Structure 1
Amino acid sequence: MKAPLKVSLVGVGRMGQNHLRVLSMLKGVELTFLADVDEALAQRLAAAYGVPGGGHPAAALDGADAVIICTPTMTHAEYIRMAAKKVRNIFVEKPMAGTLAEAEAIAAIAARQELNLQVGFIERFNPAVLGLKSIIDKAQRVISIDFTRTNKLSARITDVDVVTDLMVHDIDLALYLNGPAKSVVAHGFARESMIDFASALITHDNGRFSRIQASRVTDKKVRLIEATCLDMFVDCELLRKEIIINRQSEIRQREGQPYTISAIQETIEVRPQEALLSELQAFIASCREGGRDGLPTADAGLAAMRICEQIQRAVVA
Structure 2
Amino acid sequence: MAQRQPIKIGLIGLGKMGQNHLRVLSLLKSVELAFVYDLNTKAAEQLGETYGVQTHADLEQLLPQVDAVVICTPTVTHGDYIRIAAGYVKNIFVEKPMADSLEEAKALSDFAAEHNLKIQVGFIERFNPAVQQLKSVLDKSAQVISIDFTRTNKLSARITDVDVVTDLMIHDIDLALYLNGPVRSVSAHGVAQDQMIDFASALLTHQNGRFSRIQASRITEKKIRTIQATCVDMYVDCELVRKELLINRQSEIQQQDGGPYTISAIEQTIEVRQQEALLTELQTFVAFCHAQDVEVPTAADGLHAADICDQIQKAVRQ
Letter of the 2:75 counterpart: T
Verify the 8 A CA contact 2:150 2:216 in the aligned structure 1: yes
Matches of 2:30 and 2:123, distance apart in 1: 23
Question: What secondary structure sits across from 1:160 in the alignment?
Answer: coil
**What is the CA-CA distance between 1:90 and the residue it aligns to?**
0.0
Matches of 2:292 and 2:115, distance apart in 1: 15
Q: 2:306 — aligned with what?
A: 305
Instruction: Kindly indicate whether residue 317 of structure 2 is the aligned counterpart of residue 316 of structure 1.
Output: yes
Verify the 8 A CA contact 1:42 1:55 in the aligned structure 2: no
Matches of 1:290 and 1:105, distance apart in 2: 27
Instruction: Kindly indicate whether residue 57 of structure 2 is the aligned counterpart of residue 50 of structure 1.
Output: no
Name stretches of at least 5 consecutive residues in structure 1 with no aligned partner.
Answer: none
Q: 2:4 — aligned with what?
A: 2
**What is the CA-CA distance between 1:82 and the residue it aligns to?**
1.0
Which of 276, 279, 283 aligns to 1:277? It is 279
Matches of 2:284 and 2:33, distance apart in 1: 17
Q: 1:140 — aligned with what?
A: 142
Verify the 8 A CA contact 1:167 1:213 in the aligned structure 2: yes
- Count the aligned residue pairs: 316
Normalising to structure 2: TM-score of the pair?
0.95
Matches of 1:3 and 1:236, distance apart in 2: 38
Matches of 2:196 and 2:119, distance apart in 1: 29
Verify the 8 A CA contact 2:253 2:264 in the aligned structure 1: no
Q: 1:56 to 1:254 in 2, by over 3 A?
A: farther
Matches of 1:145 and 1:303, distance apart in 2: 19
Q: 1:218 to 1:57 in 2, by over 3 A?
A: farther
Normalising to structure 1: TM-score of the pair?
0.96
Q: 1:199 — aligned with what?
A: 201
Which of 99, 106, 109 aligns to 1:107? It is 109
Q: Which moved more, 1:85-94 or 1:2-11?
A: 2-11
Verify the 8 A CA contact 1:36 1:56 in the aligned structure 2: no
Aligned-pair RMSD on alpha carbons? 1.7
Please give the residue correspondences for 1:222-233 in structure 2 after superposition, counting only pairs within 5 Å.
222-233=224-235
Q: 1:214 — aligned with what?
A: 216
Q: 1:59 to 1:199 in 2, by over 3 A?
A: farther
**What is the CA-CA distance between 1:251 and the residue it aligns to?**
2.9
Which of 30, 53, 58 aligns to 2:32? It is 30
Verify the 8 A CA contact 2:30 2:286 in the aligned structure 1: no
Letter of the 1:289 counterpart: A
Matches of 2:57 and 2:241, distance apart in 1: 35
Matches of 1:3 and 1:267, distance apart in 2: 40
Please give the residue correspondences for 1:35-114 in structure 2 after superposition, counting only pairs within 5 Å.
35-114=37-116
Q: Which moved more, 1:39-48 or 1:241-250?
A: 241-250
